[in-house]
Amino acid sequence: MNILYASNDGFVRHLGTSMCSLFEKNRDAREITVYVLSLGLSEENQRKLREIADRYDRKIEILELGDIRERFDFEVDTGGYDISIMGRLFMGEMLPKTVDRVLYLDCDTVIVRSLARMWKENLGGAVLGAVMEPTIYTAVKESIGLSEDDGYYNSGVLLVDLARWREEHVQEKLLAFLKEKGGTLFASDQDLLNGALKGKIHTLMPSCNFFPNYRYFSYKTLVDHAPSYQVVSKEEFLKAKKHPVIIHYMGDERPWIRGNLNHYRLAYEKYLEMTPWAGTPKEKGKEIYMLIYHLMDYVTAVCPEVRWYISKKFGMKAVMSRKKQMEAKKS
């Protein structure tokens, strides 16, 4: 089993937590090799990651991407997201040619069940498999050439046919699509993958990449909002809520922020304490916001229209806020 992450020092403790959960829940796997695309990971953090792998007698290879902006011949604006999210675009050239299938995981994921079945998923000739994100704005889909009937996929968990990825020159197609869009997209790499690989993405079930706030959405609400989501059965959706395989802490309700009431936060906290970053204090300053956000979760269950309104109204404001934060860090 080949697993891929991309990270810099800012996300490394989350990567370590995810790795630890991966090894714990897949002890029966004959082989697991973790590849990390590094964007300047310090020697100390690399040592800590190797310490985790050695503890479980697993292989880890850390591959340095260097200054990722130098890999683009045009200006790239990630909308305030860290540039490390673009690392996955270069998996085809960075990973050894002997690797023909890989499971890419965002650092903010925790594995809570065996990946054996997921790893063997038949992609049916698709370049990659991913989980749908039906709550995306319609305007975002339209901006990348998707219709209402097209599925939109989250890029946090990708099961990739890397042999086909290379054969079909996917990296070149992705970079060309991004350049055509002026180097910027609303959801950055995620929009890029959806737009450039339209029709070449296989649908994985939601348990393979479960978003905690979906616990508060009903199946009917999601299907009404995005009819393409009907490819996922109600049974599979309910199963994901109760028995996720991978939890993806996307959104604002992160388990490493103080005051969060994320229903699935205990999984992250459990595995963090099994890493060299155990005892890292939670980030302060957002306690009130965390409470308001969690109350919105319950409002979603009762009246999802309120959440649609709030998300649409403040979605772009959140993007601009991310951009200002990133610019402040650079100055």
Helix (H), strand (E) at residue 173 = helix 170-180
pLDDT of residue 271: 98
What string of DSSP letters covers 199-218? T-EEEEPGGGGB-GGGGGS-
Give the chain's mean pLDDT: 91
pLDDT of 318 reads 58
Query: What domain count does the chain have?
Result: 1
First to last CA, the chain: 41
CA distance 96 to 114: 25
pLDDT tens-digit map of 82-93: 788 888 999 999
Domain that holds residue 26: 2-330
Cα 93 from chain centroid (whole Å): 20
pTM comes to 0.92
Task: Please name the helix (run of DSSP H) or strand (run of DSSP E) that holds residue 165, with its range, or none.
Answer: helix 162-167
CATH of residue 43? 3.90.550.10
Rounded CA-CA distance 29/3 in Å is: 12
Q: What is the pLDDT of residue 331?
A: 53
What does DSSP say about strands 157-161 and 109-111: parallel, antiparallel, or unpaired? unpaired
Segment 62-71, tens digit of pLDDT: 999 988 888 8
Query: Cβ neighbours of residue 290 under 8 Å, at least 6 residues apart?
Result: 253, 257, 258, 259, 260, 261
- The tens place of each residue's pLDDT in the chain, 331 residues long, gives 999 999 999 999 999 999 999 999 999 999 999 999 999 999 999 999 999 999 999 999 999 998 888 888 888 888 777 788 888 999 999 999 999 999 999 999 999 999 999 999 999 999 999 999 999 988 889 989 999 889 999 999 999 999 999 999 999 999 999 999 888 888 888 999 999 999 999 999 999 999 999 999 999 999 999 999 999 999 999 999 999 999 999 988 999 999 999 999 999 999 999 999 999 999 999 999 999 989 999 988 888 887 777 776 665 565 555 445 545 545 5
- Nearest-10 crossing angle of helices 265-272, 12-25: 90
